[in-house]
């Protein structure tokens, strides 16, 4: 595939619902000749890590249009506690992240093993692609963000799982004897990792809930009103996956033109 080396793609967090929207959007753009995988740099956080990996590995995105709804897992009371800790005025960021990690460890949530299996299926592989892909997570013990790459020695599905291990939804993911949680807690969409790119595409499923810096994005894409209605109030509601995926597919038609011009 011909790549656009000066173009960076940043894909933000958004839970399972946001993941579905990103995958639908990515599939629609691929069909329209504006394949996001052409970006010379892909930065993925949480939902964005999953979608970024699926795009970069060339995953057949038609195969992930539908998933079994399954049962709602995790403890929805955890996230409000976590946000209260993270937003406390004057708190030390590292101490706050360590406390969030403790809460995540104690929560009755999806076991990491099941989450890892799901990530492997969504990516279609455990192997990193040749593309320049950065996946973010948070080291619980250190209380600091980390960035995984193909040179980190971590399987792709494990990097994805750590990046999307939202407290209360998924137990912390252990890699090399250390525990990791959702990369969004280390820097939102982590748009700073694309600093210096010639052009920036920023796609954020939950920009309406978690506004952040746009990094001077040339193209910034968010769910439109119809997509947000399909999202519903619970980003972890896997029963909405199929409908939200279709909304991403539909919305791709509105942004294919500007993106095709960048991804030449």
Could you list the active site residues? 46, 182
Q: Which of 147, 162, 129, 154 is nearest to 52 (CA)?
A: 129
Dihedrals phi, psi of 12, to nearest 5 degrees = -90, 180
* Residue 228 Rama label (left phi>0; alpha psi -120 to 50; beta): alpha
Closest CA to 217 of 227, 228, 207, 231: 207
- Residue 126 gets which letter from DSSP? S
Q: What angle do CA 248, 41, 3 make, to 5 degrees?
A: 85
The residue to which tokens 């506690």 are assigned: 81
Q: If we measure between CA atoms, which residue out of 223, 171, 166, 163 comes closest to residue 193?
A: 163
> β-strand 199-203 against 219-221: which pairing, if any?
parallel
Two tokens at 20? 């579905």
Q: C-alpha angle 66/72/74, rounded to 5°? A: 130
What would the two tokens of residue 109 be? 């949530």
Do strands 39-44 and 199-203 pair parallel, antiparallel, or not at all (unpaired)? Answer: unpaired
Q: What one-character-per-residue DSSP string does 64-79 give?
A: GS--------S-TTHH
The 10 Å Cβ neighbour count of residue 143 is: 19
246/252 Cα distance (integer angstroms): 10
């Amino acid at each position: 595939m011909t790549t656009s080396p000066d173009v960076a793609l940043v894909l933000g967090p958004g839970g399972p619902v946001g993941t579905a929207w990103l995958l639908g959007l990515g599939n629609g753009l691929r069909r329209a000749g504006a394949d996001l995988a052409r970006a010379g740099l892909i930065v993925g956080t949480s939902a964005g890590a999953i979608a970024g990996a699926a795009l970069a590995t060339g995953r057949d995105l038609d195969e992930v249009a539908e998933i079994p709804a399954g049962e709602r897992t995790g403890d929805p009371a955890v996230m409000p506690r976590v946000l209260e800790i993270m937003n406390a005025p004057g708190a030390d960021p590292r101490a706050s992240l360590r406390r969030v990690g403790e809460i995540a460890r104690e929560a009755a949530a999806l076991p990491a093993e099941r989450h890892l299996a799901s990530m492997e299926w969504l990516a279609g592989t455990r192997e990193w692609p040749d593309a320049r892909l950065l996946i973010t997570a948070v080291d619980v013990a250190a209380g600091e963000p980390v960035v995984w790459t193909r040179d980190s020695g971590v399987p792709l599905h494990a990097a994805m799982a750590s990046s999307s291990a939202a407290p209360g939804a998924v137990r912390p993911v252990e890699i090399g004897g250390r525990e990791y949680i959702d990369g969004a807690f280390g820097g939102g969409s982590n748009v700073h990792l694309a600093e210096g790119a010639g052009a920036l595409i920023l796609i954020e499923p939950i920009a309406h809930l978690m506004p952040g810096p746009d990094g001077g994005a040339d193209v910034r894409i968010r769910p439109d009103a119809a997509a947000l209605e399909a999202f519903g109030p619970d980003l972890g509601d896997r029963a909405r996956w199929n409908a939200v995926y279709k909304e991403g597919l539909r919305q791709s038609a509105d942004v294919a033109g500007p993106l095709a011009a960048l991804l030449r």
